[in-house]
Structures are given as structure tokens and as C-alpha cells.
Structure 1
Amino acid sequence: MPQPYDLIILGAGTTAFAAGRMVAARDKKVLLIDQSHVGGTCVNWGCVPSKTLIHKAEMYHAARKGEFWGLNLQAGKPDCTTLMQLKRTAVETLRDQHYKQELAQTPNMDIHYGRAYFVSKNEVATENGRFTAPDILIATGGQARVVPIPGLEAVKYLTYNSALHLPCFPKSLIILGGGVIALEMGQMFARFGTQVTILERGPKLLAEFDPRLTEQFRAMLEREGVKIFFNAETERIEQRADGVCLYARVAGAEIGITAERFMLAIGTTPATEGLGLEKIGVKTDAAGFIKVDNGLRTSVEGIWAAGDVTGNPMIAPAGAREAQIAAKNILHPDQEFTIDHRFSPMAVFVDPEFATVGLNREQAEQQGYEVVTTYLGLDRVPKAHVMGEELGGFLLNAEKGSGKVLGVQMLCPRAADIIHEATLAIRFGLSVVDLTTTVHVYPSISDGLRQAARDNAFVQGLL
């Protein structure tokens, strides 16, 4: 007989735990099913290991950069053994102290290890168990997207997962893609001494960010030795004894690029293979992501989905918030809770950092807003001169007339922390006047957001 639960969650990462702990706290029996480690992609293969190495690469780069400021530090060759152990320790510590410990201390929340599939809309099974519940939440996350490049089957290619498990840094690396993963990993490898070449299919890096920011970052990457090709159409790849050779067409001409390793960084696909979604009628989009409404319901009653498996925004905190919304709807079926990702910030952990929240100008105008946009270069922020870090800027979109803040983008040191001020402003309907009349610490990088708001208020005649 199948074991009964009140809620079954497929997955045991950030998204799964966010829903599980909320439902279990209401004296409901919750089962998490996962085929690997608790903590999911973010802890085990994504955010934690990558940001550990990215942070150390930033320190290594800063040591060498200090020579221009009279800090005559000597940066020797990176110690891969120590660095990789630091990465493993960070992963294991968070997995044990945050996730395993929470499981042990949370009544009513169990875990079962295995590869799950749907038997019916209320029953799932693995190779060693069967379980039933009136509600099932799919939180299986995503995995690296792989495209059928001629010759790829013979190449020992990397993804963000395998690239983070290399014993040391390759001498040279080709990265296909110009998005978040490509830039985070590319800059990290380059700063540890790898010769990095990035090929982007489109005309710019980070399509979701304003060119006034991305062009500055591109120029900085190229000064650091990263080669970047835009409008690149990959044609084929060959494995050679000493590495790989990628053939691509750039501006109508075929080029061949050789490197020790090749990495795919072209996005994420949903981890739904083998779940049997088609058997129970759960609808997906053309890319395979599960379709959900604003309450995280799928097309099948009692089946919910949250996190990367539903598509953008594919960031762990947004997935956790989606899971909480799903949990609240499960617990309170007589009420209606919805998600609004206008209030979900995201960051790119390069150096300096990108961050964004809210609507860009095009999105705001599509929603009927008349928009006033102001841009403030980081060189106008006194703290940037103190730090000797003047690359970057702040872009702010506000509603014309009311001055209500609609969206913010930034490229600056610690943008991932500063963006939360903008997030609160957008969530609670604050105006550019509210931001600019709020006293900020001086000198601080976050004062750049106040200055951008002040410029917007002046343009609109609100001050």
C-alpha cells in the first residue's frame, strides 16, 4: 500500500524546503523526494560552489591590482588543492547545517531518496517506494541546456556543473553563451589565469540589461584579456589530442578557435524527464517548462510547480517565494495568493556586480506607463573615487508625473546588496522624491541610487 502524506514535494532544494517547512508547521505530513543531495542545485552545483570560487578570484585579482595603488603584494600561482577544498567545505557545511539539520529538527517532514515518477495525479513512485497525497508540488529545478552542435558527442564538454568540479583551472577555455553563467564563470576562470574566449549568438552581453552598463563591462573584460565574439553562429566542434577546435561564423566569415576545454553556458532546461507529466496531463510550454498560473497551479488540480522547473526568473530566492505562495494556497484553499516577480531582484556575481529589479523601459511602456529614465555614471559617486572603482552606473525608470519608481538597474561594487533598497521602493510604491529625500550614508556606493533618483525628480520638476 502507498504511504499517505498531506503534501509530496518532488525535489529537496531551496524551493522544496520553503514549501515543506511552511506546510509541516501546520501539523501536516510532508514528504520530500530527491534523487541526489538535499540543498538542490544552488547549494551543491550552482550558487554556493561558484560564488565561493568567484569570491576567491576577486581577492586574487585585487591582490594583483593593488600594485597600481602602491600595495606591492605578490600574487603567486593559485593553489588549486586548497581552493577546491574551500569550495567543497562551503557546500558540505551549508548542506549539513542548513538542510540536513532542518530536516532532523522539523517534525512532520520526511525525505525519501529515489527517482520519482507519477503513477496518477495523487500518487508517485520511486524504485523503492510508493506514496500518495492530495497535493503534489513539483520543485525539481533545472539543468544545463545542451544543443546539438555537430561533433559535440565526441567532445568532453563542460557545463556549469562539471566546470565547478575540475581539479584545477584549464589553460584555455571556450564558452558558448553571453548570459549570467557565461560571464560569472568566464571572469572567474580568466582571473585565475585561463585564457577565456566567449561566443555570444546575439549582439550584446546580458540581454536583460541596458547597453550603457553591459558595454562598460564588456570593455573591462576585454582589458582583462577575455576575447568576446558577438553575432556568432556555431557550426561544428572537433575533439583533438590537445583540446578542442570550435568553428563558428562571425560577421559572415568562418573562424576556428582552439582551446583546452569547451563549456556550454546557453541557459537552463527543466528537470522533468521521466516524471510522467504527459501521463497525468500537466501542460508544458515549447521549451518544456511547466505552465502555472500566478498561484503556482498547473493544469491538473492538486498538482503545483515552483522554481526553475516553471521558467524565469530562475533564481533560488524567487523559487522559494513561489513555493511559499503555493504552500499558502494549499493550506488556505478558500483564499487566493499570487506571485508578482516585479518585486524579485536578481544579480550577476561578476566584479563589479550587476543587479536589477522591476520593469525596464520597454516593459513599463508595454504596461501603459509613461516613463522617465535617468542614468548616473558611477564616476559621479564619491565612494567610487575612494575605492578607485569608477566603472558602472545606475539606471532608474520612474512614472512620469507621480515619480513612482518602476525599475532599477545597476553595475557597481556590491550591487547585489544595494538592489534591495530599490526593491523595497518598487514594492511599496515609493517615488523618486522618497528616495532622494532619504538620508544616505556618505560616502557610500548606495548613494548613487539616491543621486539617480534626485536627477529623475529634477527632470520631472518634482523637487
Structure 2
Amino acid sequence: MAYDVIVIGSGPGGYVAAIRASQLGFKTAIVERESLGGICLNWGCIPTKALLKSAQILEYIQHAKTYGINAGESSADFDAVIKRSRGVADKMSKGVQFLMKKNKIDVLMGSGKLKSKGQVEVTDKDGKVALHEAKSIILATGARARELPNLKIDGKKVIGYREAMVLPKQPKSMIVVGSGAIGVEFAYFYATLGTKVTIVEFLPRIVPVEDEDISKELEKIYKKKGIEIMVNASVESVEGNGDGVKAKVKTATGEITLEADVVLSAVGIAANIENLGLEALGIKTDKGKVLVDKYYQTNIPGVYAIGDMVPGQALAHVASKEAIVCVEALGYNEKKYAHKPEPIDYMNIPGCTYCAPEIASVGYTEKAAKEAGYEVKVGKFPFSASGKASAAGATEGFVKVIFDAKYGEWLGTHMIGANVTEIIAQTVTARKLETTYQEVLDSIHPHPTMSESVKDAIEVAYGEAIHL
């Protein structure tokens, strides 16, 4: 078959690229080897949020008396929790199927590979091979769990995020290696359900990409929940121990041995760039990523790459926006779109972690702003001083804002608290519009809300605090 555009991979980068291409009038096909929606919808963003919601509901019930409610005894049905999560994922995947049909996109099930320039070879599950042609090919094959040489994922004693979502039974104890988003989210989920959880982090603090104040707050809250945290530590080896494992952990003071039912490796991701035919076409890569220009074209004209397989933040919403920019630039070149899209500003990408309390951030951390040469004004507003947070019984955490002292530019926001992932978009939009602190303060915020705490934090930064 001959197409205008073939997309390889149907995650939040791939399926968005296919839909936008079809909307612009390109005859489009999408190649998927497993399930439409990719990792995000099937094994990542969506099903993990379903698991976390179940844990949150259990916490609500366990603390019902603090709200004046007598709920009685409560416990988690682990199998039912897992089943609900898989049901949510399946529903979302079927939604992508509907969108493909609605937008008249051909779905080619199988593994896609670049055969030559303008040709994609698709091998289905039975080994049958079909060759398809396209003027433009978009690679969107995502990423997988990264493996450390001394921590190989076997799916039983050492598991990755996929296995963590469908364990046959709840472990009594778990060692989580790595404290990025995946690590701390699963740590919260399993600890809330009653598993004894130990986090082992190589760096000096957990959630190390976040502002230092966020790391300190989450560590304090997690320790209060009974989660053990070891920083400046690394798992050197793991051995089977009957029904469990023994992990040798190197710490600043020496080596210790931890025992648990299972080890969850959450040490990041690796891009899926193997077996795609990149070498045959001479597509350039660096450090495991495909190199692209600001419109996501590789060094080979007509071949594009987006999402986790290219440099930049490995986030679903980033992949989706890269897809739009890529396809609209292609549409502009083919006279199917009126103007060239604006390239992405990677300094204004929101990051969200859905543990409890949630974490959300965008822009410079305080340390990074100072290292970049800014003189800063910093304001921090605790949710303990928020009326809405107090009424909701969600007083943990704070909002921290960072402004350039000279011009009032909004440099960054860092939050930890209930539902803060729903608030961070305000900062993203304001930074995009080059809003100053005064314009935010002049915008009336509704009361009582959690979101007004952003305004309160700005007031703190400029010495105008009312509620603190």
C-alpha cells in the first residue's frame, strides 16, 4: 500500500501524529505491534493512575473518622484493584481504536521497520511480511524500562513497571530501586495497600529532578507513612532467597543486606531504537536517542522521530505536542497547513508525579535559577494555611514560586500537595504569555480553592502575604 504518512508506534506521540496528519488531508497509516495507545494507555500513565486512585480511596476510608464518618473495617482486594486498572486501560485502548476508524487511518498490526527510504516493512504476529510505501515516515516507538547490568529484570524476583501492575498476589515486602516518578508512585501504591516498602536511591535525595524543598517534603511524608528511604545507596546484587530475595545494598557507611519478596527496578527508561532499520538508512543517533531538528526531521529527509526516542523530556504530553509540531510542519511544507508551527520551548514543560501527595513543577528550580545568574524572589505558601486544604483534610505540602527579582519574570513553580497536578497549567500558560508577578496578583483567584495558593505564594515572594 502507498500512503502519504506512515507512523510507527501508536502511543500518545504516534496516535496523535496519525490523527493530525489525517485531519490535514494526508492518507495515513499507523503501525502497532501490541496494543493501540502504546505504553501510556496500556502499561503507563493511565492504568497506574487507576491503581493510585484505589490506594487513595483506601486511605480515605481508613481515615474516615477524621471527617466524622464511621466506615468500619476496610481492606484492599488486590485482585479487584488490578482488574479495575486493566479494565480502565482496555477502555482507553478501545477509544484509540475508535479514533483511528473515525479519522480513516489504516491500522497495520505488526512490527514496523524502515526497509529503505520511503518504505516500511511490517511483520505481523504470524511472521507474514508486508511492504508499504510512504512519502513521510514518523517514528514514535517510545521506550521501555531501563535495566542495570547487575539488576536484570526476570519478571519474578526483579520486576519492572509492567509486572508491578499485574502481580498475581500482593507482596508483603518490596524494595523499590530508583525514586523518580515510577518509583515513588509504586512505593505509595504498595505501601498504602500494606506492603512494607523500602526505596533505594543512588543520588543524595529522592525525586532528584525536583526542587530540593520538594524532595525534603516528600521524604518527610513518606517516612511518616512507614516507607523506609535510603539515599546515596545502590543495589549491587540480588539473589533468590526461597520465596523472596536478598539484595546487597552499598551505602555511605558500608554494605548491608535487605530481604524482601520482590525488587522493583525503577531506574529510568531506554528508548526503543533497535530493529527499526536506522542503521540501514544512516539515521544519526546519540546516547540512545534519535537526533532530530526542531521540527523532528532526522538527518534523512522524509523520516521523522518524536516522543521518548528523541532528546527531551520523556513525557506523554511532550510526545503529543511533538507530534502536532512535526505533522503541522510537514503540512506546511506540503501546502496543507497555513503556517509553520512554533517549536516547543522545553524549558516550559510541566512535570507531574502522581504519588500522594502529588508533585507538579515547571521551569527553573531555585538552585538552577541562581546557577543561571538570576537574582530571585522566592515565595512558599504551605497548604496548612489554606482554607480549602484544611476543609478537605489535605494540608500536607506547599506551593513554591520563583521570580526574577529584576523584571518580575516567572521562572518556575514547584508544588507538592493534593491535586496539584491540576494546578500547574496556570504557571505554564502564564510563562508562555510572559506574565509578570503583578499581573497574576491582579487576576482574581476564586476562594476557597487550592489553586489560590499559587497567588498566596507570589504574595509571600513580594512581601505582601495576607494569609500567612
Given the two structures, how large is their TM-score scaled by the length of structure 1? 0.94
Contact 1:354 1:410 in 2 (8 A): yes
The question of 1:223 aligning with 2:219 is answered no
**Are 2:434 and 1:429 equivalent residues in the alignment?**
yes
Equivalent residue number for residue 449 of structure 1? 454
AA paired with 1:110? D
Tell me how far apart the structure 1 counterparts of residues 388 and 240 of structure 2 sit (CA, whole Å): 48
Which of these residues, 402, 405, 421, is aligned with residue 397 of structure 1? 402
> How big is the shift at 1:397?
1.4
Matched with 2:99 is 102
Deviation at residue 247 of structure 1 after TM alignment: 0.1
Structural RMSD (CA): 2.0
Structure 2 residue matching 1:208: 3-state secondary structure: coil
1:248 lines up with 2:219 in the alignment = no
Contact 2:5–2:28 under 8 Å retained in 1: yes
Distance in 2 separating the partners of 1:198 and 1:67: 30
The answer to whether the 8 A contact 1:152-1:238 is kept is no
Q: What residue number does 2:366 align with?
A: 361
User: Matched residue of 1:134: which SS?
Assistant: strand
Is the 1:356–1:410 Cα contact (8 Å) retained in structure 2?
yes
Alignment of 1:419 with 2:424, yes or no, is yes
Distance 1:343 1:150 in 2: 34
Q: What amino acid is aligned across from residue 303 of structure 2 in structure 1? A: I
Match of 2:55 among 44, 54, 57: 57
Corresponding residue number in structure 1 for 2:326: 326
Are residues 113 and 150 of structure 1, via their aligned partners in 2, closer, same or farther at CA, if it must alter by over 3 Å? closer
The one-letter amino acid of 2:313's match is P
Q: Are the equivalent residues in 2 in contact too, given 1:155–1:244 (CA < 8 A)?
A: no
Match of 1:125 among 103, 118, 121: 121
Contact persistence 1:151–1:237 (CA under 8 A): no
Aligned ranges for residues 286-301 of structure 1 at < 5 Å? 286=287, 288-301=288-301
Aligned partners of 1:323, 1:164: CA distance in 2, in Å?
Answer: 28
> Which deviates more from structure 2 when the two are superposed, residues 47-56 or residues 355-364?
355-364
Please say if residues 364 and 371 of structure 1, whose CA atoms lie closer than 8 Å, have aligned partners that are also in contact: yes
For 2:404 and 2:293, locate their aligned partners in 1 and report how far apart those are by CA, in whole Å.
28
Report the counterpart of residue 114 of structure 1 in structure 2: 110
Q: Deviations over 1:290-309 (max 9, x none)?
A: 12222212222221111111
Alpha-carbon contact 1:151-1:238 (below 8 Å) kept: no
Partner of 2:40: 42
Q: Is the 8 A contact 2:4 2:135 kept in 1?
A: yes
1:4 maps to which residue? 2
Greater shift in the superposed pair: 85-94 or 186-195:
85-94
TM-score after normalising by structure 2: 0.93
Distance 1:184 1:161, change over 3 A: same
| Map of 2:86 onto structure 1 | 88
Q: Give the partner amino acid of 2:40.
A: C
Task: Specify whether residues 448 and 150 from structure 1 end up closer, same or farther in structure 2 by C-alpha distance, changes over 3 A only.
Answer: closer
Identity of aligned residues (%): 26
1:154–1:239 CA contact under 8 A, matched in 2: no
Structure 1 match to 2:166: 165
1:246 Cα deviation after fit: 0.3
Secondary structure of the 1:357 match is strand
Give the alignment of 1:270-309 within 5 angstroms.
270-286=271-287, 288-309=288-309
Paired with 1:139 and 1:75, the residues of 2 have a C-alpha distance of 47
Is the CA contact (8 Å cut-off) linking 1:184 and 1:349 kept in structure 2?
Answer: yes
**1:374-404, Cα deviation, whole Å (9 max, x unpaired):** 2222223222222232221111111223212
Structure 1 residues 407 and 154: CA distance shift in structure 2, 3 A: closer
**Contact kept? 1:204, 1:214, Cα under 8 Å:** yes
The more displaced of 363-372 and 431-440 is: 363-372
SS of the residue 1:384 aligns to: helix
Alignment map for 1:338-349 (pairs within 5 Å): 338-349=343-354
Shift, 1:438, TM fit: 1.5
**Compared with structure 1, are the counterparts of its residues 242 and 390 closer, same or farther at alpha carbon in structure 2 (3 Å cutoff)?**
same
Is the 1:200–1:231 Cα contact (8 Å) retained in structure 2? yes
Amino acid at match of 1:302: G
CA apart distance, 1:5: 0.9
1:214 deviates by 1.8
Aligned residue for 2:120, secondary structure, equals: strand
Q: CA deviation at 1:20?
A: 1.0
1:104 maps to a residue whose letter is: K
CA distance in structure 2 between the partners assigned to 1:74 and 1:54 by the alignment: 22
Which shows bigger deviation, 152-161 or 296-305? 152-161
Aligned twin of 2:126: none
Tell me how far 1:66 sits from its aligned partner.
2.6
SS of 1:33 mapped into structure 2 = strand
Mapping of residues 160-199 of structure 1, within 5 Å: 160-199=161-200
In structure 1, the partner of 2:389 is 384
| CA distance, structure 1, for counterparts of residue 303 and residue 242 of structure 2 | 49
Deviation readout 1:106-139 (Å, 9 max, x if unpaired): 12x1111111111113212122211121211110
Residue 66 of structure 1 aligns with which residue?
A: 64
CA offset digits 1:345-370 (Å, max 9, x no partner): 12100111100112223444565544
Distance 1:268 1:50 in 2: 16
Distance 1:295 1:377 in 2: 41
Looking at structure 1, the residues matched to 59 and 154 of structure 2 have their Cα atoms a distance apart, in angstroms, of 36
* Separation in 2, partners of 1:317, 1:453: 27
Q: Give secondary structure in 2 for the equivalent of 1:262.
A: strand
1:93 Cα deviation (Å)? Answer: 1.2
Q: Which moved more, 1:376-385 or 1:320-329?
A: 376-385
**Which secondary structure does the structure 1 equivalent of 2:101 belong to?**
helix
SS in 2 for 1:14: coil
Residue 165 to residue 331, structure 1, CA distance change in 2 (3 Å): same
> In 1, are the aligned partners of 2:379 and 2:462 still within 8 Å (CA)?
no
Structure 1 partner of 2:258 = 257
Unaligned runs of 5+ in 1: none
